[in-house]
Amino acid sequence: MIYTFNNTGARPAVDSRTLAGDPLGIDAVFDSQDPQSWDWVDNGHVLDITAAMNEKRADGTTWKDDFHPVFLTDSLYKDKIWGAPEQVYIMLLHYNAKMFEEWGKEPPATWDELLELSEWIKNNGDGVAPIAVTGQVDYYVGLWWNYLTQRFLGTEKVMEYLWEDTDMMAADDPGFLQAAQEMNKLVENGYLLDGWEGTDFTTTQVFFFQDRAAMILMGSWLMTEMKESIPEGYKMGVSAFPSVAGGKGDQMALFGAARPWSVMAKADTPELATEYLRRFTSDEISARRAEALGAVSPNANVAAPPGINGLEDVLKDAATAEMIYYHYGTVGGPYGIQAAWFTPIVEMWLGQITPEEAVAKIDANMTQVREQRKSE
């Protein structure tokens, strides 16, 4: 077995090999939530492993049964399975579980509960900020915008607005303005960590683990990424993003990705590559990797990493929920779509424009994005 480091430097050469008919045995080229990766399947470069996934084992279970249903979504395309989920990222509301226990508080299940809890912490938390966030990274501020638009409008509506050939304007649907107005309450009411505007994301996360903020909306990599900065005995909890009353979206939906590894159709030995992938994602290997990395495993039979309380409840509740490509795929997207979607929201939080003006500015930005798409 030869391993090739799949970083940005190696990627062009690996892709060239695949296009020339000499691919790696297993590669991370496909994610059903990323339309830009569909060509790898449509052009015959990725092996259909549906039969292997559904093959009955001696105990009556299948390979597919090993994965939590919400994490298999990224491998499904045109009613077939084109990979096995190898690593998982989920955008979760992280909270200081020790503080919450001392306060006798539970993580908020609804948006109204989040606002009520934040107000209580602001007034009774001995200087602890309700929410930590960095203003230096637009898509970290945008996590709140993404979830609120999804909860109020639904994924399909937002994706149509962002990616389809449409004349839809956000100003014409009250859900966009409602999402912006609710999000703006966090800054208007003083619920954000002092200095959030200029604090970088690493410092913000350190402040969270130093008990200076009670909650942070962040990816499930937080515990692993910050392990060197987490005080001994720190107890963290996670919960799903709160639901909103009357929202049209799936209220248990998660933003994230379950990155699949795919067997390449023209590999020298696709059968061996399939077997390798089966073993690599097995209960035993998945458990060892989850422990070593401190990361969430897509394998349903692997326990949540220690120190992340509540994750199993989140996954149980989300078993039939949507998994949405995080940031709706806008980060690093073409035609400046990332700035078009997030910059007005950051400006709103900075107090430079109102929610109404933010929605109008997003519409103006997206009009330019659409014009550039049409000019191709």
Taking only the tens of pLDDT, the chain with its 376 residues reads 565 555 567 888 899 999 999 999 999 999 998 888 999 999 999 999 999 999 999 999 999 999 998 899 899 999 999 999 998 889 999 999 999 999 999 999 999 999 999 999 999 999 999 999 999 999 999 999 999 999 999 999 999 999 999 999 999 999 999 999 999 999 999 999 999 999 999 999 999 999 999 999 999 888 777 878 888 888 889 999 999 999 999 999 999 999 899 999 999 999 999 999 999 999 999 999 888 877 789 999 998 777 678 888 898 888 888 999 889 999 988 999 999 999 999 999 999 999 999 999 999 999 999 999 998 7
* Residue that the structure tokens 């900020």 belong to: 129
Same-domain pairing of 106 and 243: yes
Non-local CB neighbours of 132 within 8 Å, separated by 6+ positions: 192, 193, 196, 204, 205, 207, 208, 212, 213, 215, 216
Last residue of a domain, one of 273, 299, 319: 319
Same-domain pairing of 247 and 190: yes
Residues spanned by the domain of 202: 90-253+327-374
Last residue of a domain, one of 301, 319, 337: 319
Same-domain pairing of 119 and 191: yes
CA 172 to chain centre: 27
The bridge status of strand 308-309 relative to strand 236-239 is parallel
Same-domain pairing of 148 and 105: yes
pTM over 0.85: yes
DSSP 8-class letter at 359: H
Same-domain pairing of 211 and 360: yes
Residue 335 belongs to domain with CATH number: 3.40.190.10
CA 114 to chain centre: 20
Last residue of a domain, one of 272, 290, 319: 319
With contact defined as beta carbons under 8 Å apart, do 243 and 251 qualify? yes
In a domain, 1, yes or no: no
CA 326 to chain centre: 4
Same-domain pairing of 177 and 78: no
Number of domains in the chain: 2
Same-domain pairing of 214 and 263: no
With contact defined as beta carbons under 8 Å apart, do 95 and 237 qualify? yes
